[in-house]
């Protein structure tokens, strides 16, 4: 099964424009012949802020990104591609300066699928750490760049597959360069910038309640309302409420689902029903793990008054845009 792929980004568009220029433009502009025996190299960087924001952990050493390269086609002295047998269905022999970015994108996705479906392996690998990586001693050709999904405690990162040509040619690209020289080392300002797509990971919060005793003479249930103040790593702090209603002394719990992993959550019991004492006035604070749950526990005792009581719940839920919206079933009493 193929791993998830991110959306096409500007870095891919740049890479594809460069690939197209290698094939078509040099023939017209009479660029020097390709040195098919030359050694090539490529640097990888990560697109996005290096010092702050949601992608910071890709630059500070927290997250490493494995990158694999597969040779899709060789290249001759005139800049024509000849597909490797496994990738013959890509039709790279017929590409030219009219080949669109969308066509190149489709070819990159197809190449990645061929790799996944056939369990192909490669010894051309690197690991992007602190936002950079390099691969040396590559022979000229057309390569698939396949960055694997990477995870941090709070996020998953996915990358679009790329097709990139070594050497490359920058004649008449958007930068305005007029050089028709072959570039054998895609380093420095010519490095390939991979654009990540960040997806939040989630966990849950379990609120446990112990009711030591209950006013059985009233024969009424007791409701306990909790407020969770959630501070995610990215985005604004928000609140959710949950309620537990108990008909007898004992234990019960309620779970708040889909809280962003890495979020700090402070839970306070804001209503304990008539005749019951709040056990934790200052609240309890926990950290939400990815694909797991954190828990807090509250204990209440009956204070001896013959009052009954119940509650209704206010809360928030995720809408179709993955945003929390407030809703009300009533107000705590």
* Full 3-state SS string of the chain: CCCCCCCCCHHHHHHHHHHHHHHCHHHHHCCCCCCCCCCEEEEEEECCCCCCCCCHHHCCCCCCEEEEEEEEEEECCCCCEEECHHHHHHCHHHCCCCCCHHHHHHHHHHHHHHHHHCCCCCCCEEEEECCEEEEEEECCEEEEEEECCEECCCEEEEECCEEEEECEECCCCCCCCCCCCEECEECHHHCEEECEEEEECEEEEEEEEEECCCCCCCCCCEEEEEEEEEECCCCCCEEEEEEEEECCCEEEEEEEEEEECCCEEEEEEEECCCCECCCCCCCEEEECCCCCEEEEEEEECECCCCCCCCCCCEEEEECCCCCEEEEECCCCC
Tally of domains in the chain: 2
277 vs 303: CA distance, rounded Å: 6
**pLDDT confidence band for 124 (50 / 70 / 90):** very high
Is residue 5 in some structural domain? Answer: no
154, 257: one domain: no
161, 214: one domain: no
Is residue 93 in some structural domain? Answer: yes
Per-residue model confidence (pLDDT) at position 282 = 74
**Chosen domain end from 200, 232, 257:** 200
63 vs 60: CA distance, rounded Å: 8
Judge whether residue 324 has pLDDT over 50.
Answer: no
Per-residue model confidence (pLDDT) at position 215 = 62
262, 175: one domain: no
97, 156: one domain: yes
Is residue 290 in some structural domain? Answer: yes
Per-residue model confidence (pLDDT) at position 208 = 95
Find the mean pLDDT for residues 224-244: 92
Judge whether residue 145 has pLDDT over 90.
Answer: yes
Average the pLDDT over each of 13-17, 146-150, 172-176 and give the range with the smallest value.
13-17
First-last CA distance in the chain: 52
**Chosen domain end from 149, 170, 200:** 200
Average the pLDDT over each of 42-51, 112-121, 250-259 and give the range with the smallest value.
42-51
Q: Residue 216 contacts by C-beta under 8 Å, 6 or more apart in sequence? A: 248
Per-residue model confidence (pLDDT) at position 9 = 30
185, 220: one domain: no
Q: Which percentage of the chain shows pLDDT scores above 90?
A: 51
Taking only the tens place, the pLDDT of each residue in 85-119 is 999 999 999 888 788 889 999 999 999 999 999 99
Roughly what angle, to the nearest 10 degrees, separates helices 101-117 and 10-23? 100
Judge whether residue 195 has pLDDT over 70.
Answer: yes
Judge whether residue 306 has pLDDT over 60.
Answer: no
Is residue 63 in some structural domain? Answer: yes
Is residue 4 in some structural domain? Answer: no
40, 120: one domain: yes
108, 233: one domain: no
Report strand pairing: 293-300 vs 202-211: parallel
148 vs 130: CA distance, rounded Å: 16
Judge whether residue 16 has pLDDT over 90.
Answer: no
246 vs 59: CA distance, rounded Å: 49
Task: Enter the pTM of the model.
Answer: 0.70
Per-residue model confidence (pLDDT) at position 312 = 47
Is residue 39 in some structural domain? Answer: yes
Per-residue model confidence (pLDDT) at position 7 = 30
Domain that includes residue 300, residue range: 202-328
209, 153: one domain: no
45, 176: one domain: yes
């Amino acid at each position: 099964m193929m791993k998830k792929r991110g959306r096409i980004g500007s870095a891919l568009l740049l890479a594809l424009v460069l690939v197209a220029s290698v094939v078509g433009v040099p023939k017209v502009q009479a660029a020097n012949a390709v040195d098919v025996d030359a050694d090539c190299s490529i640097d990888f960087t990560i697109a996005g802020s290096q010092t702050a924001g949601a992608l910071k952990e890709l630059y500070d050493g927290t997250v490493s990104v494995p990158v694999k390269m597969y040779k899709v086609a060789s290249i001759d002295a005139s800049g024509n591609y000849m597909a490797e047998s496994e990738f013959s269905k890509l039709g790279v022999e017929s590409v030219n300066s009219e080949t669109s970015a969308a066509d190149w994108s489709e070819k990159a996705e197809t190449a990645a699928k061929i790799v996944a479906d056939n369990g192909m392996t490669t010894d051309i690998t690197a690991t992007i750490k602190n936002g950079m990586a390099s691969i040396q001693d590559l022979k000229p050709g057309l390569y698939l760049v396949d960055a694997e999904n990477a995870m941090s405690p709070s996020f998953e990162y996915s990358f679009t597959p790329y097709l990139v040509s070594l050497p490359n040619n920058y004649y008449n690209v958007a930068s305005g360069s007029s050089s028709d020289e072959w570039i054998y080392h895609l380093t420095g300002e010519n490095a390939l910038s991979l654009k990540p797509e960040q997806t939040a990971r989630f966990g849950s919060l379990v609120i446990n309640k112990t009711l030591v005793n209950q006013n059985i003479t009233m024969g009424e249930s007791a409701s306990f309302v909790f407020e969770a103040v959630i501070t995610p790593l990215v985005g604004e702090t928000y609140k959710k409420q949950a309620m537990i209603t108990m008909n007898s002394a004992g234990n019960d719990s309620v779970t708040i689902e889909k809280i962003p992993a890495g979020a700090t959550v402070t839970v306070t019991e804001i209503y304990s029903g008539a005749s019951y004492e709040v056990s934790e006035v200052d609240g309890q604070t926990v950290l939400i793990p990815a694909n797991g749950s954190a828990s807090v526990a509250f204990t209440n005792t009956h204070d001896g008054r013959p009052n009954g009581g119940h509650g209704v719940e206010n809360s928030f839920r995720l809408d179709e845009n993955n945003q929390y919206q407030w809703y009300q079933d009533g107000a705590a009493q």
